Amino acid sequence: MECLKVINPGLFTSVQDMGRFGYESRGVPVSGAMDEFAFRVANMLVGNVENAPVLEMTLMGPTLEVMQDTVVAVTGAWMNPLVNGVERPCWSSFPVRKGETLSFAPVKTGCRAYMAVPGGFEGDVVMGSVSTYTRGSIGGIKGRRLEKGDVLSLKRHTLFTHFFKVKEEYIPHYSAEEEIRIVPGPQHDYFSREAVELFLNSTYTITKDSDRMGYRLDGPAIKAKEKHDIITDGLLPGTVQIPGNGKPIIMLKDAQTTGGYAKIATVISIDLSKLAQLKPGDRINFRAVSLQEAHQLLKEKEEVLNKIKEILVPLRYFDVTVNGRAFNVGLEIL
């Protein structure tokens, strides 16, 4: 069912779900939403199953023409949605009506925003997922980012007419410098203790050569004890590789499944969401945590997601006129 028409695609907007699993042994990257936390909350806000396809919008949001009444939720980077130019809240859901224009204010903080609709967006299902992997031209809309004139369809029509916002205390705040937690390994023994300490005590800057495949970092070079090349083996989103020039590369969702550089560390899974909200020029400080600690943090994050779902704050929208100007205001229902 046709729902939204792309007037302007924005900088890099693509259809993503949780990712493509089970084909990594055949060289297929997992892809999927870079910020899983924001992705899952966006789906919660419109009553979707967790893995429903959404739009991932990068730094500059798209302009869309609404082709049929529906509900929209926006989470992630702080780029306020605008309905016919009137601001709507982030981390909330709100109605859009046929004929309206949905656009986005310039990004204030963060890098990637997520837009969910009830039922999820339709896209090419390839190997069990609609996640767009542009380098392999699969998934989403013809395997590419959105282009002007594309029409996005809903997977099915749902009568979802509730509006919610996420309780303030659970909304993440993004900044231009983040602490990223890692578990050392699998090949941290390729590096001396001094080299590992230099890696942990330095500030790294995300370079322009950074995208959904990985972030190349600039900062102090980390030298391996002997060599940087290993016998090619498996990697996953979060793997930190140190190539011959010593500058770390963090592999992300569109990363290839194998690599031949020593892997000094792996970013803990919940901090991939933090990474997703950093952009070129932003800074990273790594901190080592134990595996036990990482598992505890994952458990806590899962509890937060459950709480968010339990206590979504219902909203009601009203049309009001003040001094002859029309506004549509979302109010919390007590």
Partner 1 sequence: MYKIPRILPAGDKAVVVEYGNEISEECNKRVLNLYSALKRQDVTGITSIIPTYRSLLIKYEPLKLTVDDLTALIAKSDMSTSVEEFKAKVIEIPAAYGGDFGPDLEIVAEYHNMTSEEVIKIHTGSAYRIYMLGFTMGFAYLGGMSEKIATPRLEKPRTEIPAGSVGIAGSQTGIYPVTSPGGWRLIGKTPVKLYDPHRENPILLEAGNYIKFVRITPDEFHEIEQHVNKNAYEVKTYNYDG
239 near partner 1, rule: CB under 8 A: yes
Instruction: Compute how many other C-beta atoms are within 10 angstroms of the C-beta atom of residue 180.
Output: 20
Interaction between residue 243 and partner 1 (CB under 8 A): no
SS3 at position 30: coil
CA distance 55 to 35: 12
Which of 294, 308, 312, 315 binds partner 1 (CB under 8 A)? It is 294
* 183, 217, 249, 276: which one binds partner 1 (CB under 8 A): 183
Residue 165 or 253: the one with the smaller Cβ distance to partner 1 is 253
Which residues, 24 to 83, sit near partner 1 by CB under 8 A? Answer: 24-29
Residue 240: its H or E element: strand 239-242
Q: How far is the CB of 272 from partner 1 (least distance, A)?
A: 9
Which of 269, 283, 305, 330 is the binder for partner 1 (CB under 8 A)?
A: 269
**What's the length of the chain?**
334
184 prior amide bond cis, ω within 30? no
Helix (H) / strand (E) containing 206: strand 203-210
CA–CA distance, 309 with 262 (Å, rounded to integer): 40
Give 219's contacts (C-beta < 8 A, 6+ positions apart).
Answer: 202, 203, 204, 205, 247, 248
User: Rule CB under 8 A: which of 301-320 touch partner 1?
Assistant: 302
* Inter-CA distances, 65 with 15, 26, 197, 208, 215, Å: 17, 39, 52, 32, 33
Cα–Cα distance measured from residue 55 to residue 81, given in angstroms and rounded to the nearest whole number? 13
Residue 148 CA to residue 151 CA, distance in Å, equals: 9
**Contact between 23 and partner 1 per CB under 8 A:** yes
Which of the stretches 63-71, 76-84, 98-106, 252-260 binds partner 1 when contact is defined by CB under 8 A? Answer: 252-260
The verdict on 127 binding partner 1 (CB under 8 A) reads yes
Kindly indicate which of the ranges 165-173, 199-207, 242-250, 292-300 contains the residues binding partner 1, using the contact rule CB under 8 A.
292-300
Interface region with partner 1, contact rule CB under 8 A, candidates 147-155, 203-211, 295-303, 306-314: 295-303
Name the minimum Å distance from CB 260 to partner 1.
9
Among 2, 87, 177, 233, binds partner 1 (CB under 8 A): 233
The nearest distance, CB 53 to partner 1, in angstroms, is 17
Q: Which of 22, 99, 244, 314 binds partner 1 (CB under 8 A)?
A: 22
N- to C-terminal Cα separation, the chain = 35
Q: Pairing between strand 2-8 and 151-153?
A: antiparallel
> Is there binding between residue 226 and partner 1 (CB under 8 A)?
no
Number of residues that bind partner 1 (CB under 8 A): 42
Which DSSP letter does residue 326 get? E
Residues that bind partner 1 (CB under 8 A): 21-29, 126-127, 136, 138, 182-187, 231-236, 238-239, 256-258, 263, 266-269, 291, 294-295, 297-299, 302
